[in-house]
Chain A
Amino acid sequence: MKKNVRVCLAIALLALMVMPMAIHAEEKVIRIGAMYPMTGRPGLYGIDSVAAAEMAMDEINGKGGVNGYKIDATFTDSKAKPAYAVRVATRYITEDKVHFLFGIVSSGVGLAVTEVSKQYKTIFIGTDHASTQLTVDKFQPYYFRVSNDTFSSMAAGALYLKELQAKKPWKTIAYIGPDYAYGHDQWNELRYNLDRFGVKHKVVGEYWPKLFEPDYNSYVTSLINDKPDILVTGFWGGDTVAFIKQAQAYGMFKKTLYFQPDAGGNYELMSAMGAELPAGLVLGARHYNNWPDTERNRNFVQSFFKRTGRYPTYAAEGAYAGVYAIAKAVEAVGNPDDTEALVKALSTLKIQLPEDPEGFTSYIDPETHQIMQMQAIGVTMPNNDFPPAKMMLGDWKVYKPEDIAPPAEYIKEKRK
């Protein structure tokens, strides 16, 4: 009896190993090796990115592909671990012979993968990680990013605060953000830009809770004592929700303006908080479901909704843009195999994306390989158009990419 159980277990084990086998064999294919976290806290960003990338591929392949090439992507869970992602990227390049590495949510993982891309001279299209290092200090010619970096968000934030100061004088500012690279980068870049634009300010508090901190009460009480006019936060995902809920209980937003220009305006926050989300918070993100109000953006958001039954978070548009950027570059070059020609095509790429307002076309900056896009910042207000959210952003302020991109002297200094 016991022996039988063991035999059954052994067979089950073998079956498990063989089950996921799949064979890809197609000719004239643009192969993309994508990596996203599909599990854990950043899992939603990965899942939305995959859905949007597949949507873009279906749209392009549905119209016959690019120059007779179909786009095919393999998605692997990066586990948000650099060492594992490096291994997967190496496999993609050397075994699967992909033409493009693609995706990545965490900047730490992105920095590790850009090294692989450089070594094997394979193009890497970054779609969601935001560290400015990738396009400035650690720039390498095979890397391109099709979503905002933190620098642009923070420069737009600094301009917003400058305009605000002219209208409604404010003096003091405080910051709270997660204690890791992303949190620190945002604060450093915001202060750099406030100084650059000559915005006078006094820092009255700086707080560094750990990432995924569940309890912000002690930070909130300290912040209330600091009495800042502006509270800048650098959270993302569930941390934003937790902080806003706890700070609201103390009536924090009555006297202090809540300001989160990089990831605060992500739809994830609106859908998670519903009617609980206070009005009057000033938030920014890398894509919005209700801005710009163009046909292209409406189509993108509605197609995503039709496909998944939910509205997209901002990561989705990055992945969607990435696939279209690849298609456009291959179209210009004629094939996906001539990497150097593709690099050239990508570095001067101009592309219409859902995020572009009327009359503007996104383009890649040849110097940094960073996509240049209009950046909007909005204020929370009631809006039932995108359930389960009850509040969305409105009252937009829009900034031109030339005004918010890292200035030449900043790039020179960092690349020294």
Chain B
Amino acid sequence: MTKETAMNFKAATLWGMIVVLFALVPVLASSPYQINLASHVLIWSLFAVSFNMLWGVTGMLSLGQALFYGLGAYSVGLLVNYLGSAWYLPGIGIGLLAAALLAFFLGLLVIRVGGVYFTMLTLAFGQLAWQITFKWYDFTGGDDGIQGIMPPGLLGNKTAYYYFLLVLVLVSIWILKRMAYSPFGLILRCVQQNPDRVRFLGRRVRRNQLRIYIISSFFSALAGSLMVGVDSSIHTDMLYWTTSGEVILMSVLGGINQFFGPFVGAVAIILIEDYVGAYTEYWSLIIGTIMLVMVLGFPKGLVGEARRLIMRFGRTETGR
């Protein structure tokens, strides 16, 4: 076996394992809660991975991705609420389109500045959207949100909906992974490490930044719209900046320089939150301590450190 086929084989096994593991959840689950939990894990993973395409790969720390996550959710929620559950799937499509368009126009504004200014601008626009949703009580339900949003037909079944979102999430993550390791992904990494060099090579920095901003926002919106069917409700928290903060935590915990880092981070945070929250109200203390330990002791994140261990003790094959 050549080295390349070996790598491909390894990647395929990894994917196979993830698919089988998540596909088996409804079969092995002893209660509908585990399906619910797995749905949360999958959706947050997609959100975190798409966010990390911006931050970990391209170096653009956005504090406003909740805007797109919420946009996806509110498109579905509002359409179903006002026009009926037949609008569930069209709602997802409209939300994605709206997110891509908004990201395009917003991107033209916010990408003009870099570093902390970019972060602050994304935060400002995110909070603006939150404020509007929060105050437009008659239309959005304000902080009461909207409840009882049910997907139509077969998707109304929790298990069917789980498989629906599983397919969409895995396909999206697969697309993002292909993108991360494509020539486009390489340019994005260059943009992060040395934007001047990118210009010297005849590539446009801002255009690539705008592209990835739109792509990341598109998949964030997909995550938001899928969440509606899991919780049957939407609320303004989905647009609040802490939601953007949560994906940052997930990325840091899993490792921002690893494609699957945010995925593992999302799994870990959701499970910790759930497990610790069930036994003590001091959950925030424990998550805080874990984050502190991770950042100080294991800055590469869970996936990064695991890879390091494998490289040290395992076979001497080089990982990516």
Residues of A within 8 A of B (CB): 5-6, 9-10, 12-13, 16-17, 20-22, 38-39, 74-77, 79, 81-84, 86-88, 90-91, 93-95, 107-108, 111-112, 114-115, 118-119, 131, 133, 138, 179-181, 184
Contact = CB atoms under 8 A, between A and B. Distances in A.
Interface string B106-142: 0000000000000000000000000000110100011
A104 B64 CA distance: 29
A87 B147 contact: no
Contact of B284 (A39, A95, A108): A39
Main secondary structure of the interface of A (DSSP, over half): helix
A119 B173 CA distance: 31
Interface stretch (B13-21, B31-39, B80-88): B31-39
A75 B279 CA distance: 8
Given A88-B277, A94-B33, A179-B135, A112 B293 contact: no
Contacts, number: 114
B281 A86 contact: no
Contacts of B293: 9, 12-13
A31 to B, nearest CB: 14
A118 B150 CA distance: 13
A39 B278 CA distance: 15
Nearest to A88: B277
A17 B137 CA distance: 41
Contacts of B237: 81-83
B257 interface: no
A20 B40 CA distance: 23
B153 interface: no
A115 B147 contact: yes
A114 B40 CA distance: 20
A17 B276 CA distance: 7
Contacts of B137: 181, 184
A181 B147 CA distance: 15
A411 B297 CA distance: 59
A87 B232 contact: no
Given A87-B36, A115-B232, A76 B147 contact: no
A91 B289 CA distance: 25
Contacts of A38: 281
Given A77-B281, A95-B31, A112-B145, A86 B298 contact: no
B279 A21 contact: yes
Contacts of A77: 277, 281, 283
B280 A111 contact: no
B233 interface: yes
A126 to B, nearest CB: 14
A22 B276 CA distance: 11
A6 B232 CA distance: 43
11 contacts: A17-B272, A17-B275, A76-B278, A86-B233, A91-B36, A95-B30, A108-B143, A115-B147, A115-B232, A118-B148, A181-B143
A302 B204 CA distance: 73
Contacts of A82: 145, 231, 233, 235, 237
Nearest to B294: A13
A402 B59 CA distance: 63
A291 B156 CA distance: 49
A13 B290 CA distance: 7
A90 B31 CA distance: 10
B274 interface: yes
B238 interface: yes
Contacts of A112: 145, 147, 231, 233, 235
Nearest to B141: A181
Given A9-B293, A13-B290, A83 B238 contact: yes
B147 A111 contact: yes
Given A13-B293, A16-B289, A38-B281, A138 B32 contact: no
B249 interface: no
B237 to A, nearest CB: 6
Interface string B281-303: 10110100110010011100000
Contact of B235 (A83, A94, A114): A83
Residue with the greatest number of chain B CB neighbours at <10 A, chosen from A81, A108, A184 = A108
| The 7 A-B residue pairs with the shortest CB-CB distance in the complex, in nearest-first order | A20-B279, A94-B31, A38-B281, A77-B281, A94-B33, A9-B297, A115-B147
Contacts of A90: 32-33, 36
Residue with the greatest number of chain B CB neighbours at <10 A, chosen from A21, A112, A133 = A112
A20 B280 CA distance: 7
B289 A95 contact: no
A184 B232 CA distance: 25
Given A77-B277, A115-B148, A180-B143, A83 B290 contact: no
B144 A108 contact: yes
